[in-house]
Structure 1
Amino acid sequence: MRTQSPRRRLAGILFTLPSMLFVGAVMAYPLLYLGYMALHTYRPLTSSEIEPAGLSNITALFTDSTVTNSLRVTLQFTVASVVIEVVVGTACAILLANVMLNLKGRFGRLFSRVVASAFIVPFAVPAIAGAYAWRMMLDAQFGPVNELLGTSTPWLVEHPLVSIIVIDAWKMMPFVLFVMLAAVMSIEPSQYEAAALDGAGSVRILFRITLPSILPVMLITGAFRAVDAFTKVFDTVFATTGGGPGDDTRVLPLVIWRTAFTHLDFGTASAQALLALVISLGFGGALLIVQRRNR
C-alpha cells in the first residue's frame, strides 16, 4: 500500500484547513449558545432578562415525566421504524437486484428502470405532504385503507404510534433500498457462479453469500437511520397526530418545540435539545464503532 509523504499530507491539511475552520465556527457557535442557554433561565413572557440557573434545567429533565415519556416514545419509534426499513428495504433490494440482473435486452433494462423509479417516489415526496396524504388515507370514514380492509378504524387515534411508524418507514425505506441495492450489486458474480456449481439453492445462496456480504452495510445504514429518525421525527408527528392522543406520540423533538415556542421557556428547551444532542452523539458513536469493526 502506498503511503503519502509528509509534505503531501501537510499540503492536504493546509488546503482543507480554511474550510474546516469555517465549518467548525459555523457549527461551534450554535452548540456553545445552546449550552449557554441550558444553564440559564429565559422566559420572555415573565422577564426580558437571561438569569443564571446553574444545572437546574438539566437536572429537572430526569424528574420531568413529559421528557421521560417522550424519550420512551421516541426510542420505540426509532427502533421499530429502523428495523422495518432495514428488513423491508433489504428484501426489496435483493428482489430488485435479481430482476435487474435477469432481465436482458432493451425492454428488460427499461422495465427495471421503471421499477426502480417507482420505489424512489416516497422518498422524493416532502415529509409534510406525505404525512397529510397518509392522514387522509387513514381517515376512519373516507380513508382508502379502511375501505380496503372493510373496517372503520380511526388509526391515528386507536393506533397512533404504529401509524407514524408505518408512515416514516414508507417515507425512508427507499433510501435504505437503494443503499442496499448498491451493496448487493457490488458482490462478485464469481461467488454466485461457484455456489451454483456446488449445487447450492437460492435459499442457501441468500444466507451464505448475499446476507453475509451486505451485513456491514446493513449495520451502518441502520445506525445512520437511527440517528436521523431520532432527531427528525417532528414533521410526521406534527402533521398527523400532533403528539396525541394524550402522550402516545409526543416525541422529544415535539416536546422541545412546544417548550420553546408555545411555553416560551427557552432555557428548559435548550436543556432538552442538549439531551437530544447527547443521545444523537451516542448513536453516532455507535455508527463509528460499527465502521471501525467492519474495516
Structure 2
Amino acid sequence: MERRATFRSPLLPWLLVLPQLLIIFVFFYWPTGEAFHWAFTLEQPWGGGRQWVGWQNFQEIFSSSAYWSSVRVSLFYAFGTSAVAIFIALLLALFIDREVRGSRGWGVALIWPYAIAAPAIGMIFRFVFDPRAGVFSALNALWPGAWNPALNGAHAMLMLILAGAWQLVAYNFVFFLAGLQSIPRSLTEAAAMDGAGPMRRMRDLQVPLLAPTFFFLVVINLTDSFTNSFGLVDIMTAGGPARATEIMVYKIYADGFKGLDYSGAAAQSIVLMGLVILLTVIQFRFVERKMHYR
C-alpha cells in the first residue's frame, strides 16, 4: 500500500522547501547564469561595461595550447587520484571489516582525515615532500637531485596525486566499510566453510558485491578531483613547474583573478562544467548498467 503525505494547505509544502530552493538558486543557478552571460561577452577588467562577442571567448581558449595542456593535466590528475584513493580505501576497509582487536578504533581514526581542509593538507604534504627539509631530503642526501618537485613536473604531479588521494581515502573508506558490513555474514561464513581463505573471499565474494559502491565512488571521486582540487594546487605547486600541474580549475582562477580575463575564465568554467557532466553521463550510460546484480 502506497502512502502519500498530505497537507491541509497547498502553500505549506512550498514553504518547507523554499529555503533549500533559495540556497540552490543563489549559490548555483544564479552564478551559473552569470558565467554563461560572461562567457559570451567581453568583460572590462576594471568594470565599465561589457560587449557581446558571441563564441569568440570559446574560440580563443580552444585554440590555446596552454588550455589543452590544462585539460590533459586535469584528466591525468583526476583519474590518477581516483584510482589511488579507491584502491587504498578498499584495502583499508577490507582489513578493518575483519573482526580483529582494535578494528573499531582504527575505523574511527581512518575517518578523521576527511575533516581536514584542503589547504592544510597541502601545507602538510608540501613539507613532507620538500626536497630540502622534508622526509625526502634524506633521499636527496643519498642521491642528489633524485627528488625535486619544484623543478620536475612528474615529481610535482606525483606529490599532488598522493595528496589528493589522501584527502579522498577517508571518504571512500566510509562507503566501502558500509558496503562490506551490508554483505550478509552467512555468505562469507559459507565461503569459509567451503575452504576459501581470506584473500579468496575478498577477491571472489566481497569485492564483486561492492560493484554499486565502486560506481558511486568513481563518479564522486572524478567530480571532486576536477572541481575541488584548487586548494591543493594553490598551496603545493601553484600550477608549476612549467604548468605541469596547472589543472583546469586552477587555470580558471589564474586567468580570471590574476590575468583579469573574466570572460575567458567564465568560458573555461562552462567547458569544465560540461566536461564533468559528460563524464558523469558516460559513466551512468555505459558503466552503471554493469554494476548491479539481479
Q: TM-score, normalised by structure 2?
A: 0.87
Instruction: Using the TM superposition, give the Cα deviation of residue 195 of structure 1 relative to its aligned residue in structure 2, in angstroms.
Output: 1.3
Instruction: Using the TM superposition, give the Cα deviation of residue 133 of structure 1 relative to its aligned residue in structure 2, in angstroms.
Output: 1.5
- The runs of 5 or more residues in structure 1 that have no matched partner are none
Task: Give, in whole Å, the separation in 2 of the partners of 1:133 and 1:22.
Answer: 37
Q: What fraction of aligned residue pairs are identical, expressed as a percent? A: 23
- Aligned partner of 1:219 in structure 2 is 215
SS at match of 1:51: strand
Instruction: Using the TM superposition, give the Cα deviation of residue 22 of structure 1 relative to its aligned residue in structure 2, in angstroms.
Output: 2.9
1:127 aligns with 2:121: no
Determine if contact 1:140/1:146 at 8 Å carries over to the other structure. yes
Determine if contact 2:111/2:173 at 8 Å carries over to the other structure. no
**AA aligned opposite 1:89:** A
- Aligned partner of 1:140 in structure 2 is 131
Alignment of 1:182-221 (within 5 A): 182-221=178-217
1:155 aligns with 2:149: yes
Task: Give, in whole Å, the separation in 1 of the partners of 2:246 and 2:196.
Answer: 49
Q: TM-score, normalised by structure 1?
A: 0.86
Aligned length, in residue pairs = 283
1:271 aligns with 2:267: yes
Task: Give, in whole Å, the separation in 2 of the partners of 1:250 and 1:54.
Answer: 27
When residues 148 and 176 of structure 1 are mapped into structure 2, their CA distance, relative to the original with a 3 A threshold, is farther
- Aligned partner of 2:2 in structure 1 is 3
Determine if contact 1:73/1:250 at 8 Å carries over to the other structure. yes
Task: Give, in whole Å, the separation in 2 of the partners of 1:75 and 1:204.
Answer: 34
When residues 199 and 112 of structure 1 are mapped into structure 2, their CA distance, relative to the original with a 3 A threshold, is closer
Instruction: Using the TM superposition, give the Cα deviation of residue 179 of structure 1 relative to its aligned residue in structure 2, in angstroms.
Output: 1.1
1:77 aligns with 2:77: yes
**AA aligned opposite 1:40:** T
**AA aligned opposite 2:265:** A
**AA aligned opposite 2:223:** V
When residues 123 and 17 of structure 1 are mapped into structure 2, their CA distance, relative to the original with a 3 A threshold, is closer
1:34 aligns with 2:38: no
Determine if contact 2:57/2:263 at 8 Å carries over to the other structure. yes
- Aligned partner of 1:43 in structure 2 is 44
Instruction: Using the TM superposition, give the Cα deviation of residue 74 of structure 1 relative to its aligned residue in structure 2, in angstroms.
Output: 0.5
C-alpha RMSD of matched pairs (Å): 2.6
* 12-21 vs 138-147, which moves further: 12-21
Larger relative helix fraction? 1
**AA aligned opposite 1:96:** I
Instruction: Using the TM superposition, give the Cα deviation of residue 43 of structure 1 relative to its aligned residue in structure 2, in angstroms.
Output: 2.5
Moved over 6 A (4+): 10-13
When residues 226 and 11 of structure 1 are mapped into structure 2, their CA distance, relative to the original with a 3 A threshold, is farther
Task: Give, in whole Å, the separation in 2 of the partners of 1:151 and 1:132.
Answer: 25
Determine if contact 2:90/2:176 at 8 Å carries over to the other structure. yes
SS at match of 2:210: helix
Task: Give, in whole Å, the separation in 2 of the partners of 1:187 and 1:199.
Answer: 19
When residues 169 and 156 of structure 1 are mapped into structure 2, their CA distance, relative to the original with a 3 A threshold, is farther
When residues 234 and 5 of structure 1 are mapped into structure 2, their CA distance, relative to the original with a 3 A threshold, is closer
- Aligned partner of 2:276 in structure 1 is 280
Task: Give, in whole Å, the separation in 2 of the partners of 1:155 and 1:55.
Answer: 38
Task: Give, in whole Å, the separation in 2 of the partners of 1:79 and 1:234.
Answer: 16
Task: Give, in whole Å, the separation in 2 of the partners of 1:11 and 1:183.
Answer: 40
- Aligned partner of 2:239 in structure 1 is 243
Determine if contact 1:224/1:287 at 8 Å carries over to the other structure. no
Instruction: Using the TM superposition, give the Cα deviation of residue 77 of structure 1 relative to its aligned residue in structure 2, in angstroms.
Output: 0.1
Instruction: Using the TM superposition, give the Cα deviation of residue 247 of structure 1 relative to its aligned residue in structure 2, in angstroms.
Output: 1.4
- Aligned partner of 1:174 in structure 2 is 170
